[in-house]
A and B are shown apart, each in its own frame.
Chain A
Amino acid sequence: MIRTYAALIRNAWLVDLQYRAAIGLWLLWGITEPAIALGIWWAIAASGPIDGYARPDFARYFFALMLVNQLTIAWDSWYLDRWIREGDLNFRLARPLNPVHESIADNIAYKARSGGVILGLWLLVAAIWPAVRLPLDPTRWALTALAVLLSAAMRFFISFTTGLLAFWTTRASAIMELHAGVGLFLAGRVAPLALLPPALASVAGVLWFRGMISFPVEVLTGGVQGAAALQRGFTEQIVWLVLWFGAYRLAWNRGIRRYGAVGG
């Protein structure tokens, strides 16, 4: 399996290499949204901290968000939607390997490249702008790596499972967009969850959204402090990852049976 993955990742890396310009554009898109949110909060926080967030806190929050979002985002729903509708899934099914492995390998290769670029950008900006510097605390970075890994796995299975809905509906991509729209607030993309109205924040607490972006970001910026808060966040992430993995298995097994029936 390790050799298979090594080959798949190498292949995905080389394919991405051909689309450097396109990847650069997507990166730009990933940067503008948090940059604009930062610009607005920066203006609002001119007269003093908001609920404990001062200007530099916002800067660190949104820079961490750019990195975490890039490392955890998964476009697979979009690909699956197309594969299923246009029949590209067929040759993938003919291979002696579940297509999910290829998708995972694609994600690893893509994120290694794009995450590296964002990290490099961050370091460059940090060299001239002290507000976005973070302490080099090995424990914190290790915890962040774990939280990012769990989030990436969960977001992958959310995206993959939603893409599999294309077996039943033609609007799988639209469902994923709705999910992204809700995630603007509940995952913390527009603002740190602490600034949401309490009712909205509590919804984020019971669903999987906090573990998607907000939790890893706040681990990195130091917003999550103390063993109890860390334990709670990681538990949430693991529980939701298991649930979404279960949903993926269910959708895959049911969907493949149905797909076969349609294709003859």
Chain B
Amino acid sequence: MNRALRVLAALWRLNIAEELQYRANFVASVFGTVFWIGTALLTLALFFRHTTLLGGWTYWEVVVLLGVFNALTGVIEAVLRPGIGQLASEVRSGRLDLVLSRPVDAQAFVSFRQLDVWRLTDVVLGLGLAGYALVRLGHVPSPLQVIAFAAALASAVVMVYAIWVALMSLAFWFVAVENLSVLFDAMYEGARYPVSAYPGALRFIFVYLLPIAWTTTIPASALTGRLGPEIGLAAVGVAVVAFALARMLWRQALKRYTGVSG
């Protein structure tokens, strides 16, 4: 474990050193994030011109959720997305051998080897937005609510990662698919709004099949006090299960890879 962390730290140090050469990207990244938060808020304002509640949520409650959504997007864009294109091409060309023969866990290595450090600003901006919305709500979360939120948010990160690993594993079956992350984007698009806003069938899918609801709706609910603090524990449980399933799928996928190359 300790060694894995040292490897990770070394990889990220290299990445950061490389990215620091392109400081204009930082400005572009912040500008892009602010622009997309702006369009999301405008979309929301448009909905709320014609209603006072969305799935039972007020405007500022949904903005809290949007802040969580944006913070998670930052994690995805900074840590997960940079590596996936590389994995697909490695599976296709057989260069994955070079990764598998390293004395580190292949799943961890493949998932975290690249870091787009500028996109971490999304995390800061997203949490800032959630904080601002809490002020507008006039809601001061109790310490217990903050703890539940932290647990739910950490679980959300794990859950997003689990979904992502499941997708990466698909690269072993559908090698020709370069745009696997599009599948994730399409799915994750649903996390922009509270699940209660969707018609019943869609809600069922988002809670139980593609656990998108757990990534934004649940942390936001924990923070605003819409759900009791014990939801934090439930979130941790779901995250552990999701992670274990994803890990199993990844193992299956790897077996398939070795099967192919002999």
Binding site for B on A (CB under 8 A): 18-19, 21-22, 25-26, 28-29, 31-33, 36, 39-44, 50-51, 171, 174, 177-178, 181, 184-185, 190-191, 195-197
Select one of A18, A25, A39, A43 contacting B180, CB under 8 A. Answer: A25
> Is B93 among interface residues, defined by CB-CB distance under 8 A?
no
A-B contacts, 11 of them at CB < 8 A, read: A19-B176, A29-B182, A31-B186, A32-B186, A36-B189, A44-B50, A51-B50, A171-B28, A178-B35, A181-B39, A185-B46
Whether B183 and A28, one on each chain, are in contact in the complex, defined by CB atoms closer than 8 angstroms, is yes
Min CB distance B139 to A, Å, is 24
With contact pairs A32-B189, A40-B193, A185-B42 given, residues A22 and B32 touching in the complex (Cβ less than 8 Å)? no
Select one of A28, A171, A174, A184 contacting B43, CB under 8 A. Answer: A184
Main SS of chain B's interface residues?
Answer: helix
Chain B residues near A184 (CB, 8 Å)?
A: 39, 43
Min CB distance A68 to B, Å, is 19
With contact pairs A25-B179, A29-B182, A39-B197 given, residues A196 and B46 touching in the complex (Cβ less than 8 Å)? yes
Whether B43 and A25, one on each chain, are in contact in the complex, defined by CB atoms closer than 8 angstroms, is no
Min CB distance B213 to A, Å, is 14
Bound Cα distance A29, B183 (Å): 7
Give the contacts of B168-201 with A (CB-CB under 8 A): 174, 176-180, 182-183, 185-187, 189-190, 192-193, 197-199
Whether A190 and B46, one on each chain, are in contact in the complex, defined by CB atoms closer than 8 angstroms, is yes
Bound Cα distance A31, B189 (Å): 11
Bound Cα distance A39, B205 (Å): 14
With contact pairs A22-B176, A195-B49 given, residues A181 and B35 touching in the complex (Cβ less than 8 Å)? yes
With contact pairs A22-B179, A25-B180, A26-B182 given, residues A43 and B46 touching in the complex (Cβ less than 8 Å)? no
Chain A residues near B177 (CB, 8 Å)?
A: 21-22, 25
With contact pairs A181-B36, A197-B49 given, residues A25 and B182 touching in the complex (Cβ less than 8 Å)? yes
